[in-house]
């Protein structure tokens, strides 16, 4: 009898090993799928695309700007291409992001991309409603966002410039300062430049009251700021009224106003003599004539000009013509003759007479001193000469009569 030496349990062990290998393979496959699922999820395409903005409809005035912040929403990271439609002719409309004009964004669910739609409405735009459509496409997805812009001449508010004192009055030597208020009642923050201009020769400046060196400044929506305008007249400016035009500009917006300065002129005079000599001479008790020259050296007419004087004791003076001078025009002059009568007992010598000219309102005065020399009268000279002659004759007779003894 021959016995088979092959183990009868081998097929059982072989089946177990195959089962273990199969289970191991399935486990590895499950682990691979688990590890691969995040990558698969990350590369999965977006299934939704949206465009949103907080204020899709606004009213705006012609010549104004508006901006809309647009959010591109997706449920998976995706690129979205952006286009505009319905832009009116002559309007400047563009999508910007990161400081550049853009036509596409890359958005994801955690941090959605945003772009800004900038709309510049020309000043010539007709008051009508307008619609601009922003479209986003990503693969087969598409989203549209209509933006409605109502152009109205009253919708945007207005910019005004006012002052409590539009007219100032003073002399030509003064500096005139105006305080104005610039108010922005629009819905936008506006950046202004301001300019002021006067007649040729005038020095006129305009600046923000709080910024002495600023050439441009911002006025927030619904607020106001002060503007200081100073004006210096040119030398020797004639009396009269002079306009000053002030203009504030922000883009297409202009607001202006007219101020005015009334120059009353400068008041000054000069009292002297036509030939410049400040002396006179004559006998006591007689009349000494001296011509005075009154010149208006200011820029305004000098009115009601009178002469007064300070005289030695018992002296008198009259003027020709008598009475006040009604008016002396700028750079014009008037002559007056002063007739001096020294005192009868005035001894020979020098005397000082002070003449004073005074103009009307505002009071202006100038004075000059005249040195008057009183001479010995001629009759006293004759008497004196006669006495000297008589003395000489007497002395001659004495020497002739008693000289021989």
In the chain, how many domains are there?
Answer: 3
Distance from C-alpha of 277 to C-alpha of 282, rounded to nearest angstrom: 15
pLDDT of residue 161: 93
Expressed as residue numbers, the domain containing 74 is 49-151
Whether the Cβ atoms of residue 229 and residue 180 lie closer than 8 Å to each other = yes
Please tell me the predicted confidence (pLDDT) of residue 77.
94
Q: Which residues contact 230 (CB under 8 A, 6 or more apart)?
A: 175, 176, 177, 178, 204, 205
In a domain, 244, yes or no: yes
Check whether residue 327 and residue 373 sit in a common domain: yes
Same structural domain, 334 and 275: yes
> Count of alpha carbons within 13 Å of 269, Cβ hemisphere only?
33
Choose one of 151, 179, 198: the last residue of a domain.
Answer: 151
Question: pTM of this prediction?
Answer: 0.48
Distance of CA 106 to the CA centre of its chain: 48
CATH number for the domain spanning 87: value is 2.60.40.10
The reply to whether 258 and 304 lie within a common domain is: no
pLDDT in tens, the chain (405 residues): 444 444 444 455 456 676 667 767 776 765 665 555 444 444 578 899 999 999 999 988 888 889 999 999 999 999 999 999 999 999 999 999 999 999 999 999 999 999 999 999 998 999 999 999 999 999 999 999 999 999 987 776 788 999 989 999 988 888 999 999 999 988 778 899 999 999 999 999 999 987 766 778 899 988 999 999 999 999 878 888 999 999 999 987 889 999 999 998 778 899 999 999 999 998 887 899 999 999 998 888 889 999 999 999 999 999 999 989 999 988 899 999 999 999 988 888 999 999 999 987 667 899 999 999 998 665 555 656 677 777 777 777 667 767 655
Residue 194 shares a structural domain with residue 287: no
Residues 163 and 79 in one domain: no
Q: What is the pLDDT of residue 15?
A: 63
Task: Verify that 165 and 203 share a domain, yes or no.
Answer: yes
DSSP assignment, residue 266? -
Domain end position, chosen among 120, 151, 182: 151
Q: Residue 173: inside a domain, yes or no? A: yes
Q: What is the pLDDT of residue 39?
A: 44
**Domain contains 225:** yes
Q: 263, 289, 324 — which closes off a domain?
A: 263
**Do 140 and 210 share a domain, yes or no?**
no
Residue 353 placed within a domain: yes
Count other C-beta atoms under 10 Å from residue 303's C-beta.
14
Whether 57 is covered by a domain: the verdict is yes
What values do phi and psi take at 49, rounded to 5? -145, 125
Residues 245 and 307 in one domain: no
Instruction: Single out the residue of 335, 205, 191 nearest to residue 270, CA to CA.
Output: 335
Query: How confident is the model over 32-71, as pLDDT tens digits?
Result: 655 554 444 445 788 999 999 999 999 888 888 899 999 9
Length of the chain as a residue count: 405
Q: What residue ranges in 199-268 does DSSP mark as E strands?
A: 203-208, 216-219, 223-232, 240-250, 253-263
CA–centroid distance for 403 within its chain: 106
Give the pLDDT confidence score for residue 264 in this predicted structure: 84
Q: Do the domain assignments include residue 337?
A: yes
Is position 23 within any domain? no
Q: Are residues 306 and 241 in the same domain?
A: no
Q: What is the per-residue pLDDT for 404?
A: 53
């Amino acid at each position: 009898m021959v016995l088979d030496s092959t183990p009868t349990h081998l097929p059982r062990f072989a089946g177990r090993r195959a089962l273990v290998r199969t289970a191991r393979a399935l486990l590895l496959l499950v682990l691979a799928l688990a590890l691969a699922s995040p990558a698969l999820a990350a590369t999965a395409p977006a299934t939704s695309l949206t465009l949103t903005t907080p204020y899709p409809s606004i009213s705006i005035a012609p010549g104004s700007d508006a901006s809309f912040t647009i959010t591109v929403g997706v449920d998976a990271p995706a690129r979205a291409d952006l286009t505009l439609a319905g832009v009116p002719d002559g309007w400047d409309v563009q999508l910007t992001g990161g400081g550049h004009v853009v036509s596409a964004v890359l958005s994801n669910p955690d941090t959605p991309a945003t772009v800004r739609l900038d709309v510049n409405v020309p000043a010539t735009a007709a008051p009508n409603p307008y619609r601009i459509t922003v479209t986003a496409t990503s693969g087969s997805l598409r989203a549209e966002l209509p933006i409605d812009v109502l152009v109205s001449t009253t919708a945007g508010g207005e910019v005004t410039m006012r002052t409590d004192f539009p007219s100032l009055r003073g002399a030509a030597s003064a500096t005139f300062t105006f305080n104005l208020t610039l108010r922005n009642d629009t819905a936008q923050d506006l950046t202004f430049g301001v300019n002021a201009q006067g007649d040729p020769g005038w020095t006129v400046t305009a600046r923000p009251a709080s910024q002495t060196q600023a050439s441009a400044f911002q006025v927030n929506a619904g607020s106001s700021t002060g503007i200081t305008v100073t004006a210096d007249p040119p030398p020797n400016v004639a009396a009269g009224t002079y306009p000053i035009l002030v203009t504030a500009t922000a883009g297409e917006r202009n607001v202006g106003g007219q101020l005015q300065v009334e120059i009353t002129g400068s008041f000054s005079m000069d009292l002297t003599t036509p030939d410049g000599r400040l002396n006179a001479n004559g006998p006591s008790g007689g009349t000494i004539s001296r011509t005075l020259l009154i010149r208006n050296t200011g820029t305004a007419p000098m009115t009601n000009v009178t002469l007064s004087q300070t005289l030695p004791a018992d002296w008198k003076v009259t003027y020709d013509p008598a009475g006040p001078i009604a008016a002396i025009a700028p750079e014009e002059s008037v002559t007056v003759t002063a007739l001096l009568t020294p005192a009868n007992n005035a001894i020979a010598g020098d005397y000082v007479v002070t003449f004073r000219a005074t103009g009307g309102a505002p009071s202006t005065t100038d004075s000059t001193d005249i040195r008057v020399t009183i001479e010995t009268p001629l009759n006293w000279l004759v008497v004196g000469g006669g006495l000297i002659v008589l003395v000489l004759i007497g002395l001659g007779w004495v020497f002739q009569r008693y000289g021989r003894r």
